[in-house]
């Protein structure tokens, strides 16, 4: 059995049949391309996680990997793939298959994405763009609402988590929206200050509700330590899982379902508090 099977076997009591099936699956690599299950926050602030074909108000998981990701949707809707995205949080890959509607929305930006400028000039696109210098990653680049006068960032930053959920045989992926980044970063920082790490504990995920300036309810993901992983062998298995999946997680394309506008009016998130704010409350930078 590989590290994942051993780790999950140590978390739950597998039946003999389950153990045999999981062991056999390790050699069945050519049968199909494994698609990790996705965990999402249900829209509308209803306080539920969408977990495959089930819903839950909370769950417990070991977070094996946390990865910064970014996505630029030129309009307020998020039903399509972003026109530029960064699976590693630092290098943006431009989508050559953007729709006419997306292109029109992207050209309305006060300082358009450099890839859009190149397209309008019929010039070739580079293989990648630097997120650090991209105008869509600057405060005041948001143009998806308020007539193009938003003070937030046009490109949305998120956190992609690889979850080893208690009771699940395979890992799942969850993208934390901008509203939940601060809670996650504070959680990881607090663990690091105590000589621990987010992958060294079991984490309990819950949802807290808040209201935007327009009155819409939305959810913020809250995280607390459920229990530390004290067994050294279990920690070694987590380390092995991290090595096995790190490249996959950092290269998975950013897709439409990883980011949903919350609330529906496309509000801006305060980077200091994680709250959804009106433009008049945004910092002047």
DSSP helix, strand, coil percent of the chain (3-state; round to 5) = 30, 25, 45
First-last CA distance in the chain: 52
Bridge-based pairing of strands 37-41 and 172-176 is: parallel
Q: Which residues contact 200 (CB under 8 A, 6 or more apart)?
A: 191, 228, 229, 235, 238
Q: Is 17 helix (H, G, I), strand (E, B) or coil?
A: helix
> Is the bond leading into 80 cis (omega within 30 degrees of zero)?
no
Whether 245 and 65 have beta carbons less than 8 Å apart is answered as yes
Residuewise pLDDT in 10s, the chain (285 residues): 477 667 766 555 667 786 777 677 767 666 766 677 899 988 777 889 999 888 999 999 999 999 999 999 998 766 788 999 999 999 999 998 888 999 999 998 989 999 999 999 999 999 999 999 999 999 889 888 767 777 788 998 999 999 999 888 789 999 998 889 999 999 999 999 999 999 999 999 999 988 766 667 788 999 999 999 999 999 999 999 999 999 989 889 998 877 754 433 344 443 333 444 443 333 222
pTM of the shown model: 0.81
């Amino acid at each position: 059995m590989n590290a994942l099977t051993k780790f999950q076997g140590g978390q739950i009591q597998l039946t003999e049949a389950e153990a045999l099936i999981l062991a056999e699956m390790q050699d069945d690599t050519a049968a199909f391309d494994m698609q990790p299950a996705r965990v999402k926050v249900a829209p509308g602030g209803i306080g539920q996680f969408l977990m495959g074909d089930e819903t839950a108000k909370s769950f417990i998981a070991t977070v094996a990997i946390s990865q910064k990701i970014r996505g630029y949707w030129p309009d307020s809707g998020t039903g399509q793939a972003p026109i530029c995205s960064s699976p590693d949080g630092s290098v943006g890959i431009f989508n050559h298959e953007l729709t006419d509607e997306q292109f029109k929305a992207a050209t309305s930006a006060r300082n358009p994405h450099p890839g859009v400028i190149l397209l309008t000039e019929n010039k070739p696109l580079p293989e990648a763009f630097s997120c650090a210098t991209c105008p869509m990653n600057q405060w005041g680049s948001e143009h998806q609402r308020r007539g193009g006068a938003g003070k937030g960032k046009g490109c949305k930053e998120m956190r992609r988590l690889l979850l080893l959920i208690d009771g699940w045989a395979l890992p799942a992926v969850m993208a934390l929206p901008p509203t939940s980044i601060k809670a996650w970063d504070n959680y990881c920082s607090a663990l690091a200050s105590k000589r621990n790490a987010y992958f060294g504990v079991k984490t309990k995920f819950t949802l807290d509700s808040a209201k935007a300036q327009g009155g819409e309810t939305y959810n913020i993901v809250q995280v607390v330590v459920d229990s530390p992983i004290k067994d050294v062998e279990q920690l070694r298995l987590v380390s092995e899982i991290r090595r096995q999946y790190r490249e996959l997680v950092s290269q998975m394309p950013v897709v439409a379902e990883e980011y949903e506008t919350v609330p529906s009016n496309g509000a801006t998130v305060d980077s200091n508090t994680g709250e959804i704010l009106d433009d008049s409350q945004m910092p002047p930078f």
